[in-house]
């Protein structure tokens, strides 16, 4: 068994795809679900054939409640400052400046996607 993807429900396909592309994802396919929805599949470089992220757009739904049990997804960046500079050009700002959890630990910060889902960006050490 293997974890293959995470699914979010989104309210605007173009806006969400642009956000995740800014984080290094690439759209790899779209699948309509009858006349109810469209699934947009996204990968990061090296993910192979299996999509890592599924964005589901349900026709006629304008908002979702994220809920208190949801946490975040996490991605890595080789240079957190460079990633944040690229995101700033697109108007995406971190919730607060990068920080570390413990002395000598990796730097991290959180951003929110267009629907309010949190994404942790973690700068990996050596």
Catalytic residues: 120
The strands making up 26-33's β-sheet, listed across from edge to edge, are 6-10, 53-58, 37-43, 26-33
Tokens (6 digits) for 5 = 């993807």
Q: Is the dihedral of CA 4, 92, 56, 70 positive or negative?
A: positive
Cα–Cα distance for residue pair 88/121, rounded to 1 Å: 14
User: 3-class DSSP state for residue 89?
Assistant: helix
């Amino acid at each position: 068994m293997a974890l293959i993807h995470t699914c979010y429900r989104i309210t605007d396909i173009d806006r969400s795809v642009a956000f995740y592309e800014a984080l290094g994802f690439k759209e790899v396919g779209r699948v309509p679900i009858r006349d109810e929805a469209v699934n947009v599949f996204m990968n990061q470089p090296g993910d192979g054939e299996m999509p890592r992220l599924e964005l589901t757009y349900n026709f006629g739904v304008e908002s979702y409640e994220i809920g208190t049990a949801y946490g975040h997804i996490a991605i890595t960046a080789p240079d957190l400052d460079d990633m944040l500079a690229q995101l700033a050009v697109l108007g995406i700002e971190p919730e607060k400046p990068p920080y570390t959890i413990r002395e000598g630990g990796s730097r991290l910060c959180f951003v929110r996607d267009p629907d309010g889902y949190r994404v942790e960006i973690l700068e990996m050490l050596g």
